[in-house]
């Protein structure tokens, strides 16, 4: 979180149109800035939808040029917004190099690049990354706290999850190699990486079925791997749930009003509900209310 | 819950057959009303079973006209019940526009409409919606409280779940587009929406296998997506479990007997309900209240 | 648990060989009875393995008659044990009609019946039910308490799980009918029950892939069903975990030694560690130890 | 943990090069030993990658001899390391027979054996076991404690998990036999062990789809098995989460500062660490200790 650039107004232009636009773009608590946010959400969702629709063959065949025009419309809109963001901020270069600045740039660049390198499919994925811009807006409303609790619990359990992932990957490597030897290329296990792909798909209970064991021994090994995966799926859930429950309990404890009496002598607060005397100066306290 | 229309007796007809039938239909605590509920449950389950059986080809071929007759029997029965519900209630129009009123209507309408538009398959789903009527009865017995706890915990965690679903959908969009570019139409990923469908099926560990990665890079990306999905499946469980545990703990705390006597000598509180003397100064305590 | 018949020794034969065998068969805490239990476990596992092996075609072809002989050996052994159980118990008829008595009978009956009705495959499943006899032994060692906690938590959450299963089945019925209408028989959804089977397979994230949506609308509906199933899989885990955590906490609380001082005056125990006077008679207590 | 051999320096050689190398190889807290650990991690990961890459057909065809040379390089390196480990340790034989000693040996032996038995595929899996050596290093850094909590909770819940696995395997045996009888060899269920493999794959929600029910009754039984598996997947998660939450709570409680001062006037205990006066009688308290 601290890595994110917190935009500041250009002090040389603290009045005039720049101040107005800074408030509209970067703040989220005035009616104009809320409307701007809403407009931006709609534009992002619409432009991502256009990219999606354009990838469907029969829609591309019929409406390809319409979607191309709309795409350019959104690109110009986002370009104008990007220029505006740079213009009103105090340190444009630093903004441009921040995470959000790069995501902003990535959401407009591919369309321009497609003029230079026509028909390059891979720019499509870059274009779809603009969906990440939604989080900048989401980040700043009432969902921050909720998201913060979730991410916080994930962050505190990062080491446990790292140890867990290491253990899972070791099991995956060993079972992947085992199945490569047992089943062999004739049943689809044509290399150890392929066996590992199969082991991940199996342990995580996805089970596509594109590769499946065909020998009795292979099926027996699969059953063991599944039982391991089945016991092991409990671990990340357990880690995360325990961590989250602990967070919520602490949050609970903080919001619980223990005692709202203040010492008449030294002003100390937060007394034990059973206390009759201030724990700091020994002065008598009033009787508790509730 | 508050949106639901709570039916009231028509005051102009507070005696006579209408009062009798109002009690039978809308109350759930007298022997006749319990029998009515039971009969309704049987009729709903039977009529839904008829719709299901009729959809099986060889049963339809042999018993089609019998099932058709039974269906009309149930429709007439439900029509009579619907008319009766409207007749005995104080404000029939408001009942008709309430959630339950609309579900009641939807459960009889399709059969009549099938006379006008013969052979329309889509009315079938509407007909099966009558299964929802079961909840009106279930809602009013001893399962309310249990269901209430479950729904309450779900409701309190709605924002966390919304944040979570947004994050999941973002991952789905990005990986869907990525796989569309990497695997391409020749392996079944013929558009970004198709890639997103595959990403949802994979992340949620369903894994039909109708579309599966066929290239090495695609399989590598799949493995990463699965590991993300595997870590992430813990999150809704964690949210819900922590919330539910907190509900149950609070319910526990509420039912625990609290003693509110203060020692007349030293003012000590928090005594054991069984105590007769203050544990701090030995002074006699008043008899406990509750 | 209370439904199970607790075998009692035949009082008329409280000495002699019957008493000896009663102790060997029904008790589990003497060396001979432990050896008997161990022998029985081995016999059950071996006889179930024989049934399994016999179902494999090439093993049946080669060793069929050997396995048939072994099966008869085990059947005679179990028959002798069954006769012995009936002989030494006080009320043989009541034992014969108890759950365990019926399971004992079912484990020997099929082999005799196969003489009358040769080649009847379905007796095979009945024969395999003898694996349930393992639980009679398992039930009586150190795993009782552990299993008791698990079953207890499951039992206390039975109503919540019932409400949950009802909700899941409603979703299954509605989506099954919807997919039947949307996809139709040409994509494998050839009846509503088939659609329901698919919906269960999908919601529970099994995803065989024997039936999979083939239309765009069908895939969209599938995605929604998967997201519902994904949120909903948290519910039984949450119910069960919260209930189990509560059980374990209560067990913890019970084993925690609060205070082991007894009142020198009235002998009252279980005082608050902070108490200086007996809460029952007001007599001064000794200072707490720990 | 206690089973592992804790290496000790050879006392006869407590100075000189052996001491230096002992510190480098077996300690993990000096700069040279850290560099050695890092080098070993890189070598292990690289050599496992070589084994993996060599299993891919087209890589083997092109770079087979290069990979073979690299493999020999790593084998000689690990052989030198193994010899050094034996040389500097006090009791080489005991080290050689410890778990780590055997894993060390297994990671070099297959390459030498491949000279004697050329082309033996099965040595491949043994070779890949050298990935386990990573844990010796991982074991000794900051992840020990985290891993310890996870393994500890798993260990304490071992009996519950054993009971659970027994119950699951019983269900698997019964449903496997049932499906063998109901579906039969013509739908892929050609023996009871095959049915059991299918039941494990289904209950654990993997669902490859290589074998799937084809009859209506089979699909009905499958639906029931899935619903059982769905309810039952909650159990290991519940066990583990409850155990882990209890561990974390105890760890919390241990780190919380406890005040052990008693009021010199009234003997009241359990004061806030910040308190200067007794909350019961107002007498001054001694300064807190810790």
Specify the number of domains making up chain C. Answer: 3
**What's the pLDDT tens digit per position in C92-144?**
888 888 888 888 898 888 888 888 877 666 777 788 888 888 877 765 555 66
B chain contacts of residue C268, beta-carbon cutoff 8 Å: none
Residue A179 has pLDDT above 60, yes or no: yes
pTM of the model: 0.80
A chain contacts of residue B242, beta-carbon cutoff 8 Å: 241, 244-245, 247-248
Domain's final residue, options D107, D138, D169: D138
Contact D278 A277 (CB under 8 A): yes
**What's the pLDDT tens digit per position in C213-264?**
999 999 999 999 998 887 777 787 788 887 887 777 766 555 444 455 666 6
* Statement to judge: residues A52 and A109 lie in one domain: yes
* Statement to judge: residues D188 and D112 lie in one domain: no
Residue B88 has pLDDT above 50, yes or no: yes
Q: Kindly state the percentage of chain D with pLDDT values over 90.
A: 22
Test the B interface: residue of A114, A128, A190 with most B CBs within 10 Å: A128
Nearest chain B residue to A145 by CA: give it.
B160
pLDDT reported for residue B62: 92
Q: Kindly state the percentage of chain C with pLDDT values over 90.
A: 21
What is the pLDDT of chain B when averaged over all its residues? 79
CA distance C72 to C50: 11
CA distance C229 to C208: 16
Question: How many residue contacts between A and D have a Cβ separation below 8 Å?
Answer: 177
Contact C128 D208 (CB under 8 A): no
B chain contacts of residue C227, beta-carbon cutoff 8 Å: 165, 200, 204
Contact B131 C170 (CB under 8 A): yes
pLDDT reported for residue D198: 94
- Domain assignment present for residue C145? The answer is no
Nearest chain A residue to C210 by CA: give it.
A209
Cβ(D284)–Cβ(A282) below 8 Å: yes
Higher per-residue confidence, A156 vs C287? A156
* Statement to judge: residues B66 and B36 lie in one domain: yes
- Chain B nearest C-alpha distance from D181 (Å): 24
Nearest chain C residue to D160 by CA: give it.
C146
- Chain A nearest C-alpha distance from B260 (Å): 10
Question: Which of D194, D196, D240 is closest, CB to CB, to A235?
Answer: D240
Contact D275 A279 (CB under 8 A): yes
- Domain assignment present for residue D149? The answer is no
Question: Which of A209, A237, A241 is closest, CB to CB, to C209?
Answer: A209
Q: How confident is the model at residue A142 (pLDDT cuts 50, 70, 90)?
A: low
CA distance A283 to A264: 8
**What's the pLDDT tens digit per position in A192-228?**
999 999 999 999 888 888 889 999 999 999 999 998 8
pLDDT reported for residue A256: 45
* Statement to judge: residues D49 and D61 lie in one domain: yes
Most confidently predicted of A241-255, C23-37, D174-188: D174-188
Nearest chain A residue to B192 by CA: give it.
A52
* Lowest mean pLDDT across A121-135, A212-226, B67-81, C94-108: A121-135
- Chain A nearest C-alpha distance from C248 (Å): 14
Question: Which of A205, A208, A209 is closest, CB to CB, to C205?
Answer: A205
CA distance D96 to A13: 75
D chain contacts of residue C57, beta-carbon cutoff 8 Å: 185, 190-191
Cα separation values, B150 from B140, B157, C284, Å? 16, 11, 49
CA distance C232 to C226: 10
pLDDT reported for residue C258: 44
* Statement to judge: residues D31 and D134 lie in one domain: yes
Please list the alpha-helical segments (H only) found in A184-233: 192-203, 216-232
Q: Considering Cα of C157, then C160, then C165, then C171, what sign does the dihedral take?
A: negative
A chain contacts of residue B233, beta-carbon cutoff 8 Å: 233, 236-237
* Lowest mean pLDDT across A121-130, C163-172, D86-95, D198-207: A121-130
For residue C55, which of D197, D226, D216 has the smallest C-alpha distance?
D197
Arithmetic mean of pLDDT, C54-64 = 89
Question: Which of D209, D245, D271 is closest, CB to CB, to A245?
Answer: D245
Name every residue whose Cβ is closer than 8 Å to that of residue B10 and which is 6 or more positions away in sequence: B18, B22, B88, B89, B90
- Domain assignment present for residue A281? The answer is yes
Domain with residue C218: its CATH number is 1.10.287.70
Contact A204 B191 (CB under 8 A): no
* Statement to judge: residues D200 and D268 lie in one domain: no
* Statement to judge: residues A225 and A290 lie in one domain: no
- Chain D nearest C-alpha distance from A264 (Å): 14
Which structural domain, as residue segments, surrounds residue B277? 259-290
3-state helix, strand, coil in chain A (%, to 5): 70, 0, 30
CA distance A103 to A111: 14
- Domain assignment present for residue C146? The answer is no
pLDDT reported for residue C64: 87
Cβ(B280)–Cβ(D268) below 8 Å: yes
Higher per-residue confidence, B109 vs D125? B109
Question: How many residue contacts between B and C have a Cβ separation below 8 Å?
Answer: 177
- Chain B nearest C-alpha distance from C185 (Å): 10
Residue B91 has pLDDT above 70, yes or no: yes
Token readout for C73 is 């050996």
Q: DSSP 3-state assignment of A30?
A: coil
CA distance A283 to B1: 52
Q: How confident is the model at residue C16 (pLDDT cuts 50, 70, 90)?
A: confident
- Chain D nearest C-alpha distance from B181 (Å): 24
- Chain D nearest C-alpha distance from B165 (Å): 22
Cβ(D257)–Cβ(A255) below 8 Å: no
For residue A127, which of A47, A73, A40 has the smallest C-alpha distance?
A47
- ∠ CA A116-A122-A126, rounded to 5°: 90
- Domain assignment present for residue C148? The answer is no
pLDDT reported for residue D107: 86
- Chain A nearest C-alpha distance from D13 (Å): 37
Name every residue whose Cβ is closer than 8 Å to that of residue D248 and which is 6 or more positions away in sequence: A242, A243, A246, D149
* Lowest mean pLDDT across A16-30, A201-215, C262-276, D109-123: C262-276
Higher per-residue confidence, D231 vs C266? D231
CA distance B82 to B98: 13
Test the D interface: residue of C244, C274, C284 with most D CBs within 10 Å: C244
Contact D209 B209 (CB under 8 A): yes
Arithmetic mean of pLDDT, D258-265 = 59
* Statement to judge: residues C287 and C245 lie in one domain: no
B chain contacts of residue D241, beta-carbon cutoff 8 Å: 241
Contact B233 C229 (CB under 8 A): no
CA distance A39 to A17: 20
Cβ(C23)–Cβ(C29) below 8 Å: no
Contact D235 C150 (CB under 8 A): yes
Question: Which of A142, A197, A206 is closest, CB to CB, to B207?
Answer: A206
Arithmetic mean of pLDDT, A6-35 = 73
Question: Which of A181, A205, A239 is closest, CB to CB, to D124?
Answer: A181
* Statement to judge: residues B68 and B168 lie in one domain: no
* Statement to judge: residues A73 and A183 lie in one domain: no
What is the pLDDT of chain C when averaged over all its residues? 79
* Lowest mean pLDDT across A209-223, B25-39, B273-287, C17-31: B273-287
- Chain D nearest C-alpha distance from B184 (Å): 23
Arithmetic mean of pLDDT, D18-27 = 82
- Domain assignment present for residue D143? The answer is no
Contact B159 A146 (CB under 8 A): yes
Question: Which of D191, D222, D269 is closest, CB to CB, to C55?
Answer: D191
- Domain assignment present for residue B242? The answer is yes
* Statement to judge: residues A251 and A263 lie in one domain: no
Q: Kindly state the percentage of chain D with pLDDT values over 70.
A: 76
C chain contacts of residue B150, beta-carbon cutoff 8 Å: 160, 163-164, 235, 239
A chain contacts of residue B190, beta-carbon cutoff 8 Å: 56-57
DSSP H or E stretch at residue C17? helix C16-26
- Domain assignment present for residue D146? The answer is no
pLDDT reported for residue B82: 92
* Statement to judge: residues D119 and D22 lie in one domain: yes
Phi-psi region of A205 (alpha: psi -120 to 50; beta: other; left: phi over 0): left
- B50 burial class (0-12, 13-18, 19+ CB within 10 angstroms)? buried
Contact D209 B205 (CB under 8 A): no
Chains touching chain C, criterion 3+ CB pairs below 8 Å: A, B, D
Contact D280 A277 (CB under 8 A): yes
Domain with residue C24: its CATH number is 1.20.120
**What's the pLDDT tens digit per position in A67-104?**
989 999 999 999 999 999 888 888 888 888 888 888 88
**What's the pLDDT tens digit per position in D200-229?**
999 988 888 888 999 999 999 999 999 888
Chains touching chain A, criterion 3+ CB pairs below 8 Å: B, C, D
For residue D136, which of D35, D40, D22 has the smallest C-alpha distance?
D40
Residue A11 has pLDDT above 70, yes or no: no
For residue D131, which of D109, D113, D106 has the smallest C-alpha distance?
D106
Question: Which of B52, B272, B284 is closest, CB to CB, to C193?
Answer: B52
Arithmetic mean of pLDDT, B87-91 = 84
Q: How confident is the model at residue D267 (pLDDT cuts 50, 70, 90)?
A: low
Residue C27 has pLDDT above 80, yes or no: no
C chain contacts of residue B204, beta-carbon cutoff 8 Å: 205, 226-227, 229-230
Name every residue whose Cβ is closer than 8 Å to that of residue C149 and which is 6 or more positions away in sequence: C244, C247, C248, C251, D160
For residue C25, which of C74, C92, C82 has the smallest C-alpha distance?
C82
Nearest chain D residue to B269 by CA: give it.
D280
Question: Which of C193, C200, C239 is closest, CB to CB, to D226?
Answer: C200
């Amino acid at each position: 979180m601290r890595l994110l650039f917190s935009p500041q107004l250009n002090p040389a232009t603290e009045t005039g149109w720049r101040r107005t636009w800074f408030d509209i773009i970067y703040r989220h608590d005035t009616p104009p800035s809320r409307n701007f946010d809403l407009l931006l959400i709609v534009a992002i969702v619409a432009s991502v939808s256009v990219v999606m629709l354009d990838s469907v063959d029969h829609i591309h065949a019929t409406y390809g040029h319409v979607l191309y025009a709309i795409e350019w419309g959104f690109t110009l809109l986002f370009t104008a917004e990007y220029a505006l963001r740079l213009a009103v901020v105090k340190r444009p270069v630093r903004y441009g190099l921040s995470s959000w600045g790069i995501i902003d740039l990535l959401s407009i660049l591919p369309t321009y690049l497609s003029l230079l390198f026509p028909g390059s499919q891979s720019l499509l994925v870059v274009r779809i990354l603009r969906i990440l811009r939604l989080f900048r807006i989401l980040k700043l409303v009432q969902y921050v706290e909720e998201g913060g609790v979730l991410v916080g619990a994930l962050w505190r359990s990062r080491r446990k999850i790292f140890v867990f992932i290491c253990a899972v990957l070791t099991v995956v490597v060993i079972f992947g190699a085992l199945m490569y030897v047992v089943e062999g290329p004739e049943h689809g296990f044509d290399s150890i990486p392929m066996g590992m792909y199969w082991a991940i798909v199996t342990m995580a209970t996805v089970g596509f079925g594109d590769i499946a064991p065909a020998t009795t021994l292979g099926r027996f090994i699969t059953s063991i791997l599944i039982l391991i995966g089945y016991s092991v799926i409990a671990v990340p859930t357990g880690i995360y749930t325990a961590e989250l429950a602990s967070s919520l309990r602490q949050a609970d404890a903080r919001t619980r009003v223990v005692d709202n009496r203040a010492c008449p002598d030294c002003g100390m607060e937060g007394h034990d509900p059973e206390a009759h005397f201030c724990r700091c100066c020994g002065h008598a306290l009033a009787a508790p209310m509730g």
